Structure 1
């Protein structure tokens, strides 16, 4: 994480009319890209310039919050609080983003929704380690990105469904079942979704 890193591309208003900033994307069962199969993604920004999101259900293996603090030279270690680490997506995998409730923010925070923000500066990690920071949050390394019009094309091709976010979906520990929980919000049985959807 950079001390003054911008959150990423497409950081114009995350909730422009007709766009899905602040929503949760759910990969359809027909998703062929192994990087996104059965993923649940918080779409942090979506505009004519493209889209940027954080994968919510791929826990990061091999690195703990304590180890990350040591690498960044932050104190205290061990911290007074910890947050979970996730693989946020295939773009810039060495860059960190904290998706969190908006009861904490700084001038680098991107408003994602009324009660949700994205921060890419180390200030938030220092606050969490010291026992403060936002009430809820996850740390993601990397992000999912789409160029202009790309996400819209994928949605038209039935690659993604979208639902409003809630804190359980965003911050719960149950990564393996989160895709099913997201589908349940739509009252959809994923087994009944055709793999050929959109190709009639």
Structure 2
């Protein structure tokens, strides 16, 4: 799969025809599936050339709660609203969706501003694990229109992460076991 761009919100929303021309040229030299990774919010919700691609790509960092300690039910309800929005965009475009980025830091309340690096915040691995579980629990029944998920940020150098690392990677943290458990259930 070829991702033709990532979060070029101003260019995608203001220069639709240029993107359609680019996609047409790419189709002349590349026969595989294509997507574009749109930033959550305005870009994702208003992109006009989804129909020219094979997959809708969503970099999903919608806030799930501003509460310090929301219940699982509150987080799930908020993520279900995100899924309803994503499903609506997918259906309107007539294309399946990939979560081309989704992730949470290992810090307190990562659900409040999932897009933010929180350097200097305390380490909180259980909050990250909880977010991963909430996402996976709610995605499991959405396979008709949602065709995949790419976790942000999983580097190729496996020494990155681990206990005490507050960044996005689940590597070496409890969230990694959650991903392994849920992905292990797939056929």
Same fold (TM > 0.5)? no
Q: Tell me which of the two structures has the higher relative contact order, counting C-alpha pairs closer than 8 angstroms and 6 or more residues apart.
A: 1
Q: TM-score band (shorter)?
A: under 0.3
TM-score w.r.t. length of structure 2: 0.23
Give the structure with the higher percent helix: 2
More strand by share: 1
